[in-house]
Copies of this chain bind each other. A is one copy, B any other.
């Protein structure tokens, strides 16, 4: 295994992109304040005062701590790139509040301090102590990096030390591991920030113990006197503890849990060079991305268990595709990409980011999807609510959720977007994402500035200006997106034969770079018709439209209701139009579709002459932008 690439610290990347900057601005100005209010109003912040007493209403929930932690992390990323003294004061106060809740032994969890103190570590399978600890660790690292303030890092190091005393292979220690993974990747972050090997060891311990026999959750349940038959997870696939991590072949169970585990496995593999762990990561990656991933990068096919189901089972209306799961796939992809720079990882990262992640937040920045379906029949939602009091699909974003993992998760991803754009290798710089802005990298002591000028994902041209402090030989590895059939390259106006420099999805431009060298990359982005594998029953006979990295969809707002009745005939021409005033500015796809002729159907349910069609205009908008114009039908996979 080669030494892994390193992401570039957030503070060295500036984004000034027409596509992303408004989203980041919305995170700063709308999302973070709105989420702070929600955290305060729902009692999540105040809970850290530890004043709840038995008999009081609204006991702090087992995962509340993590919601606050993710908000701190998101705010910290924002502070790292866009200093804001008022926000920093607000974060400082929250951090102080959290630190004040730490117990003398280092323990730091609201629920199990004030609500059920006697149950500390009693149910790792279902309760979220280690998960919350992980999120607090991530917050602590981000806060330290952004502000230089060590309050939270000190608290969490102390907590991590305490956890390391409780869990481990020694006699008297628990050989348990989290029912909701997260702390594994967080401990690696803590290790990287502090240099303390024991945190990496603990991460590795949690990965290694998972799924071993005798099974910790069996023993733990027995100790509690629980009847396993009533467990909501049904079997240990639910939390990926059905097998030791290295023996897992398929992506199973709760999709967010899976992504966090696989990310943690990749992190441990990156730090330890553990080839067997790396091999497991590759297998699980292949299973997810070749058989269990929606075209939007969403994952998790079933609402029941918020989970993976089986190969090629990708139903559209009932897709769960939790925002957090797509975010988790970005995390996993980023780690795999740094372990081995292959375009397939970056392609999936980009696919999820521009589609299944971004759909999770409204253009306004204050409404969120937990579930991101690929098809909505709005009347079905309406009728299901009427008949059954609930609906398989909720086709409107909400301000907040009782289980509020997604809103702060998308905030922390989008405010840390700069970390995903570049990586540094030994003497290579990788450009993974094309985002207008600049970066100041350090390549073995050589400062290298890069300026990206682009209107990606709307326009095909990317112009990169290279600014090494002094002329020097190194490689720039430019990602050649998997969706692009004919990229072209020029350096200082001289064409470069892409085929000669391309390897595994990247164009390697190795040369002596001089200040002001200019790379021009053209990524032709015609509208493409995408088809799913023949085993994907839900998409049989259907086509999805894609342009560049963006997957498109039909919405009722443009096409009327009942999109199933609409068809895009093979060969029908499609054109794009830039519409600056629609949905914050989008490239719209237009073409001529077909709908069935309604003549002759009055009072008739079945008809032998019933397939006459009439032409209708068809308008598709980017999937990420759907559900910003009121409720209605939506469809990604259109009948062809």
Contact = CB atoms under 8 A, between A and B. Distances in A.
B534 A601 contact: yes
A309 interface: yes
Contacts of A291: 605
A12 interface: no
A504 interface: no
B534 A565 contact: yes
Interface stretch (A50-58, A119-127, A189-197, A523-531): A523-531
Contact of A608 (B305, B383, B529, B595): B529
A564 interface: yes
Interface in A523-551: 528-538, 540-541, 543-544, 546
Given A309-B383, A534-B562, A290 B377 contact: no
Interface string A600-640: 01011111111100000000000000000000000000011
A172 interface: no
A528 B608 contact: yes
B530 A388 contact: no
A579 B533 CA distance: 35
A30 interface: no
A295 B608 CA distance: 12
Contacts of A570: 611
A540 B565 contact: yes
A526 B535 CA distance: 33
Nearest to A610: B531
Contacts of A605: 289-291, 293, 532-533, 536
Contacts of A310: 379, 383, 387
A603 B234 CA distance: 30
A247 interface: no
A304 interface: yes
Contacts of A601: 533-534
Interface in A368-400: 377, 379-380, 383, 387-389
B606 A532 contact: yes
B534 A305 contact: no
B540 A639 contact: yes
Question: Which of A313, A531, A640 neighbours the largest number of chain B CB atoms within 10 Å of its CB?
Answer: A531
Contact of A380 (B313, B528, B533, B609): B313
B528 A540 contact: no
A567 interface: yes
Contacts of A237: 387
A531 B234 contact: no
A234 B388 CA distance: 7
Given A234-B389, A608-B528, A562 B537 contact: yes
A582 interface: no
A286 interface: yes
Contacts of A388: 234, 304-305
A541 B567 contact: yes
Contacts of A610: 530-533
B387 A309 contact: yes
Interface string A44-88: 000000000000000000000000000000000000000000000
Interface string A301-340: 0101101011001000000000000000000000000000
A596 interface: yes
A386 to B, nearest CB: 8
A470 interface: no
A286 B564 contact: no
B639 A541 contact: yes
Question: Which of A310, A389, A534, A639 neighbours the largest number of chain B CB atoms within 10 Å of its CB?
Answer: A534
Contacts of A639: 540-541
A535 B603 CA distance: 12
Nearest to A238: B387
A562 B313 CA distance: 12
Contact of A530 (B290, B536, B608): B608
Contacts of A537: 377, 562, 564-565
Interface string A459-477: 0000000000000000000
Contacts of A530: 606-608, 610
A251 to B, nearest CB: 13
A505 to B, nearest CB: 15
A598 interface: yes
A531 B607 contact: yes
Given A541-B541, A639-B540, A596 B564 contact: no
Contacts of A543: 611
Contacts of A598: 534
Contact of A604 (B305, B533, B640): B533
A91 B139 CA distance: 77
A535 B595 CA distance: 11
A530 B289 CA distance: 38
A510 B491 CA distance: 94
Given A533-B601, A540-B564, 15 more contacts: A234-B387, A290-B605, A307-B387, A310-B387, A529-B608, A530-B608, A531-B606, A531-B607, A531-B608, A531-B609, A532-B605, A533-B605, A533-B610, A535-B565, A546-B608
Interface of A: 234, 237, 286, 289-291, 293, 295, 302, 304-305, 307, 309-310, 313, 377, 379-380, 383, 387-389, 528-538, 540-541, 543-544, 546, 562, 564-565, 567, 570, 595-596, 598, 601, 603-611, 639-640
12 contacts: A234-B389, A286-B603, A290-B605, A305-B388, A309-B383, A377-B537, A530-B610, A532-B605, A534-B595, A536-B605, A537-B562, A541-B639
Nearest first, the 8 A-B pairs at minimum CB distance are: A531-B610, A537-B564, A534-B596, A540-B564, A310-B383, A541-B639, A528-B608, A534-B565
